[in-house]
Amino acid sequence: MTPAPEPEDNDTGLPGLRSWRGVYLFVLGCFATYVAALAIFGRYFA
């Protein structure tokens, strides 16, 4: 029986985000969307 190969440093283990750069861009995009939504809703409901 052969041992499982070691994961690479660049591998995230996530199904949709295979590189850490993709994870960082996804998080940054979510943060920017959240801030924009707060600004829009703040003007709309104020």
Please indicate, yes or no, if residue 8 is contained in any of the structural domains: no
pLDDT value of position 6: 66
Q: Do the Cβ atoms of 28 and 21 come closer than 8 Å?
A: no
- Residue 6 domain flag: no
Total structural domains within the chain: 1
**Does residue 4 lie within any of the structural domains?**
no
7 found inside a domain: no
| CA gap 13, 34 in Å, rounded | 25
The SS3 of residue 44 is: helix
Examine residue 39 and state whether it is found in any structural domain, yes or no. yes
- pLDDT for 12 equals 85
Cβ distance 12 to 18 under 8 Å?
yes
Q: What is the pTM of this model?
A: 0.69
Write down the pLDDT at residue 24: 95
| DSSP string computed for 2-24 | PPPPPPPTT----SS--SHHHHH
Tens-place pLDDT, residues 1-46: 777 666 567 788 888 888 999 999 999 999 999 999 999 999 998 8
d(CA 18, CA 8): 11
Residue 19 is part of which domain span?
Answer: 15-46
Check residue 10 and give its pLDDT: 76
